[in-house]
Amino acid sequence: MTHSSFASTESTFSRLFNGVAAVCAGLAVPFIAFGPGGMGVAMAMFILAMALSSDRSLFFSYTWHQAFTIVGMAVLFVFACWLVSALDSFETGRSLEKWGRTFFFVFLAVMLWRLLSESSRALELCLRAVIFGSLACGIFALLCQFFRPETPDFLKYSFIGNLFTIQKGYGSVAACLIPVTLVAGFVLGGRWRWLGVICAPVLFGVVHSIWQPPNVAVIQSRAGLLGLSGGVLILCFWGLIRALPHHLAWMVTIVITVLLSWAIISRLPVPPITDETGFKIPFSLIDQHRQIIWGFTLEKAKAAPWFGHGLDVVNRLPGADVWIPNFRQEYIPSHPHNWALEILAETGGIGFSALVAALFLFLRELVRATPNIVIAGILALNGVFWAAGLANVSFWSAWWQGTYLLLSALLMAAMEKEKT
């Protein structure tokens, strides 16, 4: 075989594996409808396809290059701070595992960004996959909820368990997918634009219909709706920044955020909870158990103010498994249900501040760019993700991190295409 024919064959296989990787990445987030294992299968195939691609060395070099951008260095500083927290953790092994996995996910997201940015074909395949997957999985999730509780077995169970339990978090995922599918349809054009538009009401139906136990406040059972509200608010902020001087707009936003945060934090109940404990926040806004969880987490954050107790350990700290009197619930049954308090308690003020600073630098780059539909989608995705995470889902959940990182990489690549 001549050198030219060998190179041609290698290029053909590279395009094939890149295409497979793009499709798998596009399907990974919608597949959470079948549980975290659905995303896991898609991501395993993505990693395998990337490993078989002859372009992998370029992906590594691109990732290295991105590490030395302003945002890249800010992200590395976040991981450096979190590593200190992990090494001094209440459970070092558990914290280091979460640190390493999160770092690996960021690395995979940058590789996906590079793949989709360099190949228009791969980007189109990924955009089509996310639209098709979101529509199909959204309809599937609606069927599961519509037929509840008399659901046929093939809709009730997947290979990993009861879908009603599995899909509890899918409402927040569906909310994240709404701006992404709209942008994907716009970028692709033609009939895909209409399919992207059709995805929106289907996914909104999923957000609204995902089952939760009765007598639970809106902030718990409708985290996806809270996320969508966050997406709308961040787009309003974008409009404010376009209308006002940047420094003034940022100052107004920061002041409002700090005041709202303080209004909630200062009114949280202080453990231990007794029959005489008073609750200052209406249960119609934040349910009673969440107020107790957040109050307990805040007290633990005060106990380790610099680097926290370690990644993903707050529910294992002394007192977390104590049952609340007359409530039949633990102080923290699984996680704090609020990413800000979770990061603050587990990585301390330094780790939390580093994450907020990195997020600020990332958003600042976006709002300074020439406005277009893709930037609007990235901003909306961030609004949805970070707002939904204030009421539900652990920040360290693999499927939740994967949702944000994969969809962000996809939209960032689409933004590169719009520039050219």
pLDDT digits (tens, 9 = 90+) for 175-222: 999 999 999 999 999 999 999 999 999 999 988 876 444 434 344 347
* 3-state DSSP assignment of residue 395: coil
pLDDT over threshold 50, residue 3: no
Query: What is the value of pTM for the model shown?
Result: 0.92
Q: Give the C-alpha separation, 53 to 12, whole Å.
A: 10
Provide, rounded to the nearest whole percent, the portion of the chain with pLDDT above 90: 61
Q: What is the pLDDT of residue 72?
A: 92
Question: Residues 6 or more apart from 76 whose CB is under 8 A from it?
Answer: 67
The confidence score (pLDDT) of residue 214 equals 42
CA distance 101 to 84: 16
Residue 286 has pLDDT above 90, yes or no: no
Q: How far is CA 4 from CA 7, 10, 12, 26, in A?
A: 5, 10, 12, 33
pLDDT at 77 (0 to 100):
97
Judge whether 82 and 99 are in contact, CB under 8 Å: yes
The CA R_g of the chain, rounded to the nearest whole Å, is: 22
8 pLDDT band, cuts 50/70/90, is very low
Angle between helices 373-388 and 170-188 (to 10 degrees): 180
Residue 243 pLDDT level (bands cut at 50, 70, 90): confident
Out of 12-21, 24-33, 140-149, pick the least confident.
140-149
Q: Is the pLDDT of residue 167 over 80?
A: no
The torsion region of residue 287 among left (phi > 0), alpha (psi -120 to 50) and beta comes to beta
